[in-house]
Homo-oligomer: A and B are copies of this chain.
Amino acid sequence: MAKHVLILGGNGALGKAVVDSFARHKWNTLSLDLTANERASRSFLLRPGANWVEQAGLLETELRGALQQQKLAAIVNVAGGWAGGNAADPDFLANCDLMWRQSVQSSVIAAQLAARHGAPGSLLVLSGAASARQPTPFMLAYGMAKAAVHQLTASLAGPESGLPPNATVVALLPSTLDTPGNRAGMPQADTSSWTPLPFVADLVHTWAEGKERPQSGSLVSLVTQSGATRIEVSRS
Contacts and interface: CB of A to CB of B under 8 A. Distances in A.
Interface string A211-236: 00000010000000000000000001
Interface stretch (A25-33, A152-160, A172-180): A152-160
Given A93-B56, A135-B155, A160-B138, A87 B104 contact: no
B150 A148 contact: no
A116 to B, nearest CB: 7
Q: Output the residue of A100, A135, A150 with the most chain B CB within 10 A.
A: A135
B148 A144 contact: yes
A91 to B, nearest CB: 10
A29 B56 CA distance: 43
A193 interface: no
Q: How many copies does the complex hold?
A: 2
B136 A116 contact: no
A78 interface: no
A97 B55 CA distance: 14
A53 B161 contact: no
A140 B160 contact: no
Interface residues on A, range: 35 or more
A135 B157 contact: yes
A92 interface: yes
B151 A87 contact: no
A87 B136 contact: no
A115 interface: yes
Interface string A106-119: 00110110111000
A161 B140 contact: yes
B108 A137 contact: no
Q: Which 3 residue pairs are nearest across A and B when measured between Cβ atoms?
A: A137-B158, A88-B162, A87-B162
Interface of A: 52-53, 56, 86-89, 92-94, 96-97, 100, 104-105, 108-109, 111-112, 114-116, 132, 134-138, 140, 143-152, 154-163, 217, 236
